[in-house]
Amino acid sequence: MKESIETQIGNRYFLIRNLLLLTRMEVLDLTGISISTLTRIEKGKLSTNTGTTDKLSNLYQTPKEDIYNTGKPLPTWKELRKRVLAAHRNNEKLIGYLDKKPESKQIIEYRVMRSSFLDSFRSA
């Protein structure tokens, strides 16, 4: 069964948030978007035409056109992090969230597994 466009867009917002290793609570603290609203957006159950997507796009420094174009690959976590830090360099709270020590499972799932690092064979 094919996913709806809202579900695909919501999944892209979810992946971008997780590539930056931000929690929903941290996004609430940074943008004022409630956890329930963010959850509904990420699950594709809320129309993405709301003003909240502007806030998310600004926070993630990813144009809405890139998020809505589901055929276009998402930026890497390094590129996302660089964009966010450049745009929000005076936001100490966001920098603190980005610099916190993440869980190992998150790093493996959202950074190593989604990178090209494992595309070629490596040996010691």
- 44-77 pLDDT, tens digit per residue, is 887 766 788 899 999 999 998 999 898 899 888 8
Token reading at 124: 């010691």
pTM for this predicted structure: 0.83
Tell me the pLDDT tens digit for each residue of 81-102: 999 999 999 999 999 998 888 7
Entry field: residues in the chain: 124
Torsion sign (Cα): 35, 96, 68, 107: negative
Average pLDDT of every residue of the chain: 86
**Using CA atoms, how far apart are residues 38 and 45, in angstroms rounded to an integer?**
10
Contact 14, 67 (CB under 8 A): no
Question: 99 or 112: whose pLDDT is higher?
Answer: 99
pLDDT band of residue 118 (cuts 50, 70, 90) is low
Average pLDDT over every residue of 103-123: 71
HSE on the CB side for 96, CA within 13 Å? 7
